[in-house]
Amino acid sequence: MRDFDETTITDAVLARFAATPDPRLREVMQALVRHLHGFVREVEPTMAEWEAAIAFLTATGHKCDDKRQEFILLSDTLGVSMLVDAINNRLPAGATPSTVLGPFHVQGAVEKPLGATLSGAAGEAMRVEGRVTSADGTPLPGAELDIWHSDADGLYDVQHHGEPPELRARFRADGEGRFHFTTIAPTAYPVPTDGPVGAMLAATGRHPMRPAHVHFMIAAPGHRRLVTHVFAAGDPYLDSDAVFGVKDALVREWTRDADGVRALRYDFALAPLT
């Protein structure tokens, strides 16, 4: 079959994938073709525009390295990451909502004892404490918590040159599922704007800001791993987060204890495996 035109090309491409042995791969590839061709028909890009789109994706790939994933940032700012997260985290009542992983998670953070103070970063001290339970309220002893956040200037450790400050760690909850540690209070910050995603945000009149938050990844036997944030109540960017990650249940007041130290308290409830 040959001599394809704009009315016949889509069916021809779909037919080429019809014999794909893996049924899921066949489903994905054919859906991709249908939607991509539909997009092109709707937008009717010029050749210069299509070349610019390819150049944008090429530049996005070139911006990726072992410390930065520009494609994750692109997915985040287009709302795709939160859509995929929502589809894959239809959680039972009582479970803490999930949100995006973000581009700055790093494997192998150092494990610290409960009560440890992360050091090396300038900023206002903040106590973080809470409890990890199952969705039904049963404590989860020994639950593993992986935490990371930005500093008071909005930078993550991987964005620092030279010796980075401690802005991430792993902890294990005690026998009652409780955890506590001290770090510094993060602030609202812009997603990286020195790459193609930043150029896209600027060109479309969008701001790059994320509200202040602490990342948590929590795991316990027999339960689904939870990837989420806890956001600072009152942050001016809660309603316009650049990556669409805010949920009301994840917003907490960052209070002050009697000694004046800022405090964040949050109890997490994990969904059981089904």
User: What pLDDT score was predicted for residue 67?
Assistant: 77
Q: Same domain, yes or no, for 19 and 136? A: no
pLDDT single digits (tens) 106-115: 889 999 999 9
pLDDT single digits (tens) 43-69: 999 999 999 999 999 999 999 988 788
Is pLDDT above 80 for 1? Answer: no
**4 belongs to a structural domain:** no
**3 belongs to a structural domain:** no
Pairing of strands 226-232, 144-149: unpaired
Band (99; pLDDT cuts 50, 70, 90): very high
Q: Same domain, yes or no, for 149 and 196? A: yes
**2 belongs to a structural domain:** no
**135 belongs to a structural domain:** yes
pLDDT single digits (tens) 193-245: 999 999 999 999 999 999 999 999 999 999 999 999 999 999 999 999 999 99
Report the CATH number that the domain containing residue 92 is assigned in CATH: 2.60.130.10
Q: Same domain, yes or no, for 86 and 208? A: yes
pTM of the model: 0.90
User: Phi/psi zone of residue 123: left (φ > 0), alpha (ψ -120 to 50 degrees), beta?
Assistant: left
Q: Same domain, yes or no, for 60 and 115? A: no
Domain boundary among 51, 66, 81: 66
**What is d(CA 180, CA 165) in angstroms, rounded to the nearest whole number?**
19
Query: What is the residue range of 24's domain?
Result: 9-66
76 Cβ partners below 8 Å, 6+ apart?
Answer: 82, 100, 102, 103, 191, 242, 243, 244, 245
Backbone CA torsion sign across 271, 240, 158, 58: positive
CB atoms within 10 A of CB 104: 23
DSSP state at residue 56? H
